[in-house]
Structure 1
Amino acid sequence: MSAEAFRTLYDKVRERTRHGPDDRRGTLNHLTPARVVAAAREVMTGRTVSLAAPVATLPGPDNPDPARHRMTAPGPGDDHSEGLGFALDRFAMNVHGDVDSHLDALCHVMYDGALYNGVPADSVTPQGATELTVDVVRDGVVGRGVLLDIPRLRGVRWLEPGDHVTAGDLAAAEAAQGVRTGPGDILLVRVGHRRRRRESGPWNAAEARAGLHPEAVEFLADRQVALLGSDGNNDTAPSAVEGVDFPVHVLAVQAMGMHLMDYLQFEELAPACEQEGRWSFLCVVAPLRLPEATGSPVNPIAVL
């Protein structure tokens, strides 16, 4: 896609998803209280499934700066054979890496000097973000989740790095799975990244990964999706757009105001949906309360 074609697409999806000059919630405006109530009716068996991968603490080609976990108590030689004692630990991570499951806040993506809805990029300072932080979703996101399984559609174990999910793929997966994405839904797109990593080993996902084609973002706008998640980065690498490395992030987060969830895992959810014979469910997303942060580790839960 040329830079000119991308700009045309950018302007189109931005204009179709405006919620007023003071809006700070973006596409979450599609997820109304009535739609939350309707989503609760998706629960049939009460079966719960985590959509997060275990936090990775070992370095690898896709994880040069792994999360760090350190025990602070008990210390060497501490004796807890009698009385009260506590085990204590400390945890630190790079939120926006290429392995750990996380949610991108609307302040995460800067494009042409601005964040979503024209908020100046300099509202993000070295001390933290002052607008559009992950605190926007401090009350969580609860709605109808829809899983579209693209490897299942194509009859493969996973999409190879560099492959694109198109709007046609999304519509075809809906038809094959007997489900339709609607206003306020939490759309989850499986590309098989986690399965490939588990079976073939980690690789440099910053340079090569499967994801959505930028034109597929029009599908999200048409269906009024509230939140998008994938078991990859949502963006393909290498980028399909001249001069823009993360076009889906630019279109979704900065143009439309759509929070993204990157590097989830659906290897338990997909077979559960197959067993249940349905691909929609109640989905609960609860980021940490980090008032100045650009994102948060996240463990979404599907309730079938």
Structure 2
Amino acid sequence: MTSPKTTASQQRLTQIKDFLTMSKSATTLPWDPNSTKFPTRKELPSIPGAPPEAAWFWGDDDYIGRINLLTPTRVAAAAKEIKTGEIVNVNLPLTTPATPAFNREPFRLELKALVENIAYDDVYHMNTQSGTQWDGFRHISHIPTGSFYNNTRGGDVIGPNANHKCSIHHWAEHGIAGRGVLLDYRSYANKKGINYDPYDYYPISFEELYQCGKDQGIDIRPQAQGGDIKIGDILFVRSGWVEAYHTKGEEERAALALRPHVLGKKDGQRYAGVSQEPQVLDWLHDSYFAAVAGDAPTFEAWPTHEDYHLHEYILALWGMPLGEMLDLEKLAQKCRERNRWTFFFTSAPANCPGGVSSHVNGTAIL
């Protein structure tokens, strides 16, 4: 165990190094979101009573996790990414997919005539995760311990003692806006002759993502390691699922969505996505993304072939918003035409006290 004297000495050395390098390291609790240097995954200190690798360092009552990184300074800097002013919607229609995966309820619109030919209302019947979605921190726990982000439990979500811990409305109150970075892996794979089916298990490794970024002119390593990824960036990975969805007829789409869902490698629900290898875990953590998102029903390759799910790390352990089924088709086209893969991004999560997740309501501005 590290002695208090040793810890004090280490902090003093960090303070001296910060002074010499004009940096500001996150060493005291709660972490200052304005810090310019944060611990790597391998450097994370342990938290008494928390699962290993938990990064619950923003305060005991924090329920926005890495959204904290979206400080006024970083948002103002991200706004400088707006060059042409082109607005790109990244939300699928609420009716898409018509048959959601994982046994989720499809969206249904009910129209109500208040006064015929004069006034109308409408009622939405929907599962927030039936289409373009943010997975909130109440969505999945660290399975071995049953811990949701920042020591939230199932009893905080549903039951006689339910409360607003990790409720989606906390995200809405802060807001999500920052610099987006798109990795168009689908186009890169086509260019390199890499063939895969977005409706089947296909893990996109860190090395493949690195080469994809290099092909786009981006070094996807964090700035602390000499790369182009800035603290608080919002990552988007295009695997090609939306493209594949639109090439299929309604019956085939429905049949694929209704494949049997079971836990484990034999799950009939299968999708291409980010690999769950340790190198990907290090990269996603150490880049200090404010959020990550993809275009498939699962951000990671599904089903997992490891004894953990990437969802557990991203949501429960690190407190990082995770988006799925974003429509990245037009955005990829615009980025390719402009030969620039960063942009300003904003999202308005649902201001729903007690809510689990939300549609993204996201916009990219080039």
Q: Which residue of 1 aligns with 2:305?
A: 240
Q: Given the alignment of the two structures, is residue 42 of structure 1 paired with residue 42 of structure 2, yes or no?
A: no
Secondary structure at the counterpart of residue 87 of structure 1: strand
Greater displacement, 115-124 / 227-236? 115-124
For 2:141, which of 110, 127, 133 is the aligned residue? 110
Give yes or no for contact 1:158–1:193 (8 Å, CA) kept in 2.
no
Q: What's the secondary structure of 1:91's corresponding residue?
A: strand
Distance 1:49 1:301 in 2: 6
Structure 2 counterpart of 1:19, one-letter code:
F
Output the amino acid matched with 1:87. Answer: Y
Within the alignment, does 1:183 sit opposite 2:217 as a pair? no
CA-to-partner distance for each residue in 1:167-196, whole Å, 9 max, x for gaps?
222222221111232210010011001001
For residues 314 and 94 of structure 2, the distance between their equivalents in structure 1, rounded to whole angstroms, comes to 25
Aligned to 1:131: 165
- Counterparts of 1:53 and 1:26, CA distance in 2: 26
Q: Does 1:51 align with 2:90?
A: yes
The answer for the alignment partner of 2:70 in structure 1 is 31
Q: 1:141 aligns with which of 155, 161, 176?
A: 176
Residues 231, 265 of structure 1: 8 Å contact kept:
yes
SS where residue 73 of structure 2 aligns?
Answer: helix
State whether residues 158 and 196 of structure 1, in contact with CA within 8 Å, keep that contact through their aligned partners in structure 2.
no
Matched, 1:101 2:159: no
SS in 2 for 1:191: coil
SS in 1 for 2:247: helix
Look up the match of 1:151.
Answer: 186
1:107 and 1:20 map into 2 onto residues whose CA distance is 17
Deviation at 1:252, TM superposition (A): 0.2
Question: Equivalences for 1:214-253 in 2 at 5 Å?
Answer: 214-215=276-277, 216-232=280-296, 233-242=298-307, 244=308, 247-253=309-315
Cα 1:277/1:59, change in 2 over 3 Å: closer
Per the alignment, do residues 274 and 14 of structure 1 end up closer, same or farther by CA in structure 2, a change over 3 Å counting?
farther
Q: Assess, with a 3 A threshold, how the Cα gap between structure 1 residues 20 and 273 changes in structure 2: closer, same or farther.
A: closer
The Cα of 1:65 is off from its aligned counterpart by 2.0
Give the secondary structure class of the aligned counterpart of 2:119: coil
State whether residues 272 and 302 of structure 2, in contact with CA within 8 Å, keep that contact through their aligned partners in structure 1: yes
Alignment of 1:206-285 (within 5 A): 207-215=269-277, 216-232=280-296, 233-242=298-307, 244=308, 247-285=309-347
RMSD across aligned positions (CA):
2.6
C-alpha change, 1:123 and 1:190, in structure 2 (3 Å) is same
In structure 1, the partner of 2:356 is 294
Q: Which has the larger radius of gyration?
A: 2
The structural deviation recorded for 1:110 is 1.9
Aligned residue in 1 for 2:109: 69
- The 1-side partners of 2:69 and 2:333 are apart by 29
One-letter amino acid of the structure 1 residue matched with residue 245 of structure 2:
R
Q: 1:114 to 1:178 in 2, by over 3 A?
A: same
**Greater CA deviation, 40-49 or 128-137?**
128-137
What is the TM-score when the length of structure 2 is the normalising length?
0.71
Give CA deviations for 1:15-53 in whole Å, capped at 9, x if unaligned: 484424513221222222211111000000000001111
**2:202–2:273: 8 Å Cα contact kept in structure 1?**
yes
Could you tell me the percent identity over the aligned residues? Answer: 28
Unaligned runs of 5+ in 2: 1-41, 219-227, 262-268
1:19 matched residue in structure 2: 57
Q: Normalised by the size of structure 1, how large is the TM-score?
A: 0.85
Greater mean deviation of Cα atoms: 40-49 or 63-72: 63-72
Q: How many angstroms does 1:60 deviate by?
A: 2.9
Residue-pair matches, total: 284
> Are residues 226 and 57 of structure 1, via their aligned partners in 2, closer, same or farther at CA, if it must alter by over 3 Å?
closer
Q: Distance in 1 between matches of 2:176 and 2:283?
A: 21
- Segments of 5+ residues of structure 1 without an aligned counterpart are 1-7
CA gap of 1:87–1:270, structure 2 versus 1, over 3 A, is same
Q: Cα distance, 1:143 vs. partner?
A: 0.1
Answering whether residue 236 of structure 2 is matched by residue 171 of structure 1, we say no
Higher relative contact order (CA 8 A, sep 6+): 1
Take 1:159 and 1:183, find their aligned partners in 2: how far apart are those partners? 33
**Cα displacement (A) at 1:117:** 2.1
Closer, same or farther: CA 16–88 of 1 in aligned 2, 3 Å: closer
